[in-house]
Structure 1
Amino acid sequence: MKWIKKVDHITYAVAKGMMNKWAWYHIEIEGGTLVNRIDDVNPNDPSSSMKLWCIDFETFGIALVEGIDRAERSQVSVFVEKHGDHSVQHVAYDTVHLGAFLERARKHGVRLRGETLLRNDGFGMVKQVFSKGYDGEDPADMQFAEYVERQGAHGEAEPAITFSSRVGKGFYYQIEQAREQKDRETFIDFGRMPQGWRPPAPVDLDAELPRALDR
């Protein structure tokens, strides 16, 4: 069974002062539509926060995050310092039956950052969960995965790609909590990978093409 349907959205971390420039690029050059603009996901947090702007391309979305430093440096500022401007912080994958997929993933050693977030983002309910980082360093430095399931996953009409400000606050909090707890667990325990596993033989596309043309 194929558990991943498509990329739901990509989140880029941008350098200070670059949010408006990258939004111009994605909107005016690539043709996206700004559907959500949150200039401070944690306005009452004296420590740090981030901006979150979301751009819709109908079949997938792009999110831009920019750090807001206060008493402490924002985790987004830390990420950009390591990876550079407009670097991919995480990719969100649209899954079939998120709960069943997560149960399967956990059995195979996948470690999640926190609980599944359930939100109404204006177009219906969306479930979202974030993984731990791909490497065992500071959680603010690490790229990670997001898995989502939107209404429409089981046959109904798919809604437009949309984003929730509360989800932005949610994953920001989860990473902050991981930093406080000095959580350095990685995304997956490869010790559960069967010994001697090899991928199946790839499909011979050159051989398949004549058959497809004959049909």
Structure 2
Amino acid sequence: MTWLVKVDHITYACASGMIEKWAWFHIEVEGGKLIKRIDDIDPHNPNSSMKLWCIDYGSFGIALIEGIDRKEKSQVTLFTELHQDHSIQHVAYETKNLEQFQERLANYKCDILGEPITKTDALGIIKQLFCRGYSPTTPAKTTFAEYVERPKNSNSDSKITFSQQVGKGFYAQIEEAIAEEKYQPFTEFSAMPENWEPPKISEPESTRISNQSGGK
């Protein structure tokens, strides 16, 4: 069975002064809709912060982030210095049940960044789980995965643990990991069997459904 439903959103890190230009591109050229704009997700942080703009395309979204440097360089600034402008910081994948998938990650020796966050964003309630980076380096400089669940019931009893500022949750988790010098990667593949072989090529689900519909 597949544990992932679709790509929920892609987060691009923008170089200093570029977030408005990329917002113009995604909105005017690609036809996206600006649904959230936060020009400082943590204004009381004396060290650093970031901007966060959210653009919706209907079936998925894009988040644009840009570093705000104060006493220190923002983690977003550090990321763009290494990967350049408009580089993918992370991709968020929607899963059917985040708690069950978190257990699955643990069983496969995959390391998450922190505890799940439940909050509201421009599209409603969202549960988020951020993972450690794919590469064994400082969390500010590596790409990583995010897994999310959007409860279908709008009256969900999920506790909102971070709702004041969208984006502040994962920014804080990365800052904590940087301070603790936690450089271990998301997975070291220790759960992968030595004799594992790639499976046979399968027919894409979309093709199978199309063939079934055509045969009716």
How high is the TM-score relative to the length of structure 1? 0.89
One-letter amino acid matched to 1:93: Y
1:27-106 paired onto structure 2 within 5 Å: 27-106=27-106
CA positional deviation for 1:213: 5.2
| Separation (CA, whole Å) in 2 of partners of 1:34 and 1:165 | 19
- The residue aligned with 1:181 is 180
Question: Structure 1, residues 164-189: CA drift from partner, whole Å, max 9, x if none?
Answer: 66341111111111111000111013
Instruction: Decide whether the 8 Å contact of 1:12 with 1:86 is kept in 2.
Output: yes
Size of the aligned set, in residue pairs, is 207
**1: CA distance between counterparts of 2:179 and 2:198?**
39
SS of aligned partner of 1:12: strand
Shift of 1:122: 5.4
Where 1:131 maps in the other structure, the secondary structure is: strand
Distance 1:109 1:43, change over 3 A: same
Q: Distance in 1 between matches of 2:178 and 2:11?
A: 20
Return the letter of the residue paired with 2:79.
F
Amino acid at match of 1:3: W
**How many Å separate the matches in 2 of 1:134 and 1:192?**
16
Pick which of 118-127 and 104-113 moved more.
Answer: 118-127
Query: CA, structure 1 residues 199+149, in 2 after alignment: closer, same or farther (shift >3 Å)?
Result: same
Residue 133 of structure 1 corresponds to: 133
Whole-Å separation in 2 of the counterparts to 1:126 and 1:198: 36
Q: CA RMSD in A?
A: 2.3
Q: CA deviation at 1:123?
A: 4.5
Which residue type is aligned with residue 135 of structure 2? D
- Aligned twin of 1:192: 191
Structure 1: any 5+ residue segments left out of the alignment?
157-163
Tell me, in whole angstroms, the C-alpha distance in 1 between the residues paired with 2:97 and 2:85: 34
Q: Partner amino acid for 1:180?
A: A
Q: Against the structure 1 CA distance between its residues 198 and 50, is the aligned structure 2 distance closer, same or farther, given a 3 Å change threshold? A: same
How many Å apart are 1:121 and its aligned residue?
2.6
Query: Residues 165 and 84 of structure 1: is their aligned pair in 2 closer, same or farther, counting only changes over 3 Å?
Result: farther
1:207 Cα shift?
Answer: 11
Q: Any idea what SS the aligned residue of 1:166 has?
A: coil
Q: Percent identity?
A: 51
Q: Go from structure 1 to structure 2 and tell me whether the alpha carbon gap of 1:213 and 1:166 turns closer, same or farther (over 3 Å shift).
A: same
The DSSP-based 3-state class of the residue aligned with 1:174 is helix
Q: 1:198 and 1:166 mapped to 2: Cα distance? A: 45
Deviations 1:105-154 (A, max 9, x none): 110011100010011235432100100000111110010000000022x8
**Unpaired runs of at least 5, structure 2:** 156-162
Q: 1:161 matched to which residue of 2? A: none
The secondary structure found in structure 2 opposite 1:7 is: strand
Task: Label 1:75 to 1:193 Cα distance change in 2 as closer, same or farther (>3 A).
Answer: same
Deviation at 1:198, TM superposition (A): 1.3
Which residue matches 1:4? 4
> Equivalent residue for 1:24?
24
Displacement of 1:69 in angstroms is: 0.4
Give the drift of 1:191.
1.2
Kindly tell me: are residues 198 and 16 of structure 1, through their superposed partners in 2, closer, same or farther at Cα, counting changes over 3 Å?
A: same
